[in-house]
Structure formats: structure tokens, C-alpha cells
């Protein structure tokens, strides 16, 4: 637990998302006064709620008029059709939010969650061209391509300089956590995939590349990411710093995949010569999902709110090794870590227990 500073009031932007929901729970458990800023109320009813459309300056002004948060945690984004639109929309979210909060004078620190696309490039140029060497280091030069993470960082830096608060950036890898309707959720995606394959009597085929199967990779658990944000927000030496945030171990999918298959009672199968994307494998799976909903009493009938095939395909299909260095955090005293295998199995079990996946 990280005890709140005197008078602390946390505002979690994107409180119902995969990162925000974990952060809300941790803050409340540690005794923080916590408000979630999102369209829908946070799952944890102990949190206050400010309803707003993050893409509307007027909506933000109305929602935040009477709030005086001291610590702001931004974990929301909205996927657009092009990177130019991602930059316009997501950059404006950060700019407008901080333009509303900054002049109030209460904000002490703002934490921004981004990810390893900082090093790998945006969706339109993902993993293309010359990549930085692994493990990725936080001081690596930005890639010479447009990237909405860069736009968000620049808005954060400008607002911090103008209004005098400190900042931190948290570059997570694939996040394992709990959320429904999230665009980037590998745990529920693999749980849904397993359910469909089991129902059809098919093997649990690894959909990604040989490089991902054989190489080492790291992952970020949402609880660890939440803890790291609160640590940075309350540790003076961590102020005004960008950090990689991963579990602290590395795994190989050729070991992890059979372990997951055994846990779910499925027959594992490794990759083919070419990736076999889930988006193609699961085309038309909505009818099978309807059968699973009826058979198991699942609580979410919309498969698209449980599985994000495209994002898991991007993670598992990369033709390169991807790991991130956390030396910067370690040197400043952060010692948190998570067992990735145990975290993955625990997350899938939680989705099954809540009847979100069969």
C-alpha cells in the first residue's frame, strides 16, 4: 500500500479501462480519496464519479468545475482510423484535460500511461523500418514517424511547464488486467479463443510468429502498472521521468502457451510457418459465442466486448523480440515485480469465475 500524501485527491482518467480500473482499486485500498473520470461509473463503488466525454472540452469543463485533484492519472485513449486522427484526437484529450485542470492550481503531479509503440512505431508503421535494439531504453530517440504517444507526451510536458506540476510517463507492454469492452485485452481474448476452440473440438493453435514463439518477451500486469504510477507520483526522485513498466521477468510463448492450454484443458499447437491470425481464425465466431453464452450462462453476449483479436494478433505476430529495460526504476528504488505466467492464469481464471469467458 502507498499511503496518500496530505490532502491527496486522485483523479483517474479512464477509470473503467484495463489500467484505470486496477488503479482505482489500489488507490481506494490505500486510503486515497479517488474520483474516476469516464463515461460510465467505475466498477468499484467506493470511488466518486465524474461523467465526461474526453473528446469534448465543454464536457470536461462541466465535469471538472468543482473538482480540485492533486494527482491525475491518465490511462485513456480512443483508437481512430489513421495515425493522423489518433494524434489529433488523443493529443487533444490530454491538452484539453490539462487546460481545464491546470489553472485551478491544485494539481501536483500528472501520470500518463503510454506503451512500447513508443519504440515500435504506431499501428500504421508498427515494427517497420529500423527498430531500437532490445531491451528498449527510455532515453532512446523517438522514431522518425508520427506517433500519438509522442503527441500526448508533448502536451503533458507543455502543460507541466506552464502550470508547475511534475509528471511521469509509464510505457507499459501488453497489459494483463480486468476490463470489459477494452480494445487491448489479451487475457480475455485468449480466454474467449480457448472457449471457441474447445466448443468446436479444435486444438489451441498459437496464432503468432515463430519469432514470438521462440524468443523472449515481457508483459505488464495491470496491478503492477497501477502500483508503479502511484510510486512515481509520490516519489520526488521519480518526478519528470519516463519509465518502462513490465513485470520484471521474461517468458517464452513456447513455454507459456502449453501451460495456458493445460490450465484450460486444451491441446496446444505451436505456430505454422506463417502466423495464423485470430482475426481470420475467429471470423464468424459470433454464432459459436451465442451457443457458449447459452450453454455456460455467460454475462457478455457481445463477443467484440470480450475479445480484441486484432490487438492480440499484433502482439503475438511481431517478427522480432520485444523486451523493455527497467533499470531506471530500479535505480530509483522501485522493486515491484510479478510472475507473468501466474498473472496470466490468474486473470483468465477471474474472467471464467465471472462468466465472461467459458
Q: Which residues are catalytic?
A: 117, 149
| Residue 57 CB-half CA count within 13 A | 8
Closest by CA to 229, choosing from 334, 157, 338, is 334
307's CB contacts (< 8 A; 6+ apart) are 185, 188, 189, 192, 193, 278, 282
User: The dihedral of CA 343, 344, 346, 347: what is its sign?
Assistant: positive
Strands 220-221 and 268-269: unpaired
Query: Quick one: angle between helices 57-64 and 83-101, nearest 10?
Result: 30
* 274: CB partners within 8 A, 6+ apart: none
What is the per-residue DSSP string for 43-73? SSTTSEEEE--TT-HHHHHHHHTT---SEEE
Amino acid at each position: 500500500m502507498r499511503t496518500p500524501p496530505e490532502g491527496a485527491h486522485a483523479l483517474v482518467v479512464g477509470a473503467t479501462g484495463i489500467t484505470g480500473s486496477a488503479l482505482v482499486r489500489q488507490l481506494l485500498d490505500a486510503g486515497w480519496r479517488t474520483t474516476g473520470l469516464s463515461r460510465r461509473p467505475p466498477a468499484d463503488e467506493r470511488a466518486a464519479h465524474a461523467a465526461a466525454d474526453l473528446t469534448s472540452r465543454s464536457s470536461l469543463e462541466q465535469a471538472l468545475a468543482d473538482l480540485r485533484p492533486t494527482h491525475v492519472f491518465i490511462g485513456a485513449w480512443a483508437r481512430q482510423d489513421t495515425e493522423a486522427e489518433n494524434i489529433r484526437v488523443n493529443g487533444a484529450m490530454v491538452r484539453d484535460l490539462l487546460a481545464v485542470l491546470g489553472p485551478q492550481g491544485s494539481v501536483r503531479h500528472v501520470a500518463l500511461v503510454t506503451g512500447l509503440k513508443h519504440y515500435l512505431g504506431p499501428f500504421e508503421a508498427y515494427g517497420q523500418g529500423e527498430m531500437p535494439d532490445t531491451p528498449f531504453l527510455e532515453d532512446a530517440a523517438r522514431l522518425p514517424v508520427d506517433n500519438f504517444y509522442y503527441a500526448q507526451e508533448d502536451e503533458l510536458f507543455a502543460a507541466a511547464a506552464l502550470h508547475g506540476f511534475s509528471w511521469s510517463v509509464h510505457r507499459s507492454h501488453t497489459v494483463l488486467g480486468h476490463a470489459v469492452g477494452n480494445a487491448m485485452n489479451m487475457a480475455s481474448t485468449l480466454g474467449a479463443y480457448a472457449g471457441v476452440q474447445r466448443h468446436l473440438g479444435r486444438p489451441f493453435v498459437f496464432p503468432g510468429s515463430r519469432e514470438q514463439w521462440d524468443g523472449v518477451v515481457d508483459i505488464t500486469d495491470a496491478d503492477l502498472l497501477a502500483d508503479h504510477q502511484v510510486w512515481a507520483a509520490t516519489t520526488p526522485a521519480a518526478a519528470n521521468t519516463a519509465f518502462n513498466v513490465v513485470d520484471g521477468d521474461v517468458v517464452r510463448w513456447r513455454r507459456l502457451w502449453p501451460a495456458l492450454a493445460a490450465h484450460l484443458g486444451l491441446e496446444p499447437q505451436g505456430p505454422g510457418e506463417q502466423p495464423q491470425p485470430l482475426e481470420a481464425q475467429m471470423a464468424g465466431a459470433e454464432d459459436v459465442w451465442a451457443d457458449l453464452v447459452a450453454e455456460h450462462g455467460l454475462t457478455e453476449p457481445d463477443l467484440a466486448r470480450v475479445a480484441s483479436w486484432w490487438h492480440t494478433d499484433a502482439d503475438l505476430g511481431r517478427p522480432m523480440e520485444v523486451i523493455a529495460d527497467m533499470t531506471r526504476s530500479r535505480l530509483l528504488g522501485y522493486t515491484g515485480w510479478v510472475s507473468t505466467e501466474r498473472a496470466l492464469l490468474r486473470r483468465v481464471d477471474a474472467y471464467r469465475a465471472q462468466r465472461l469467458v467459458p
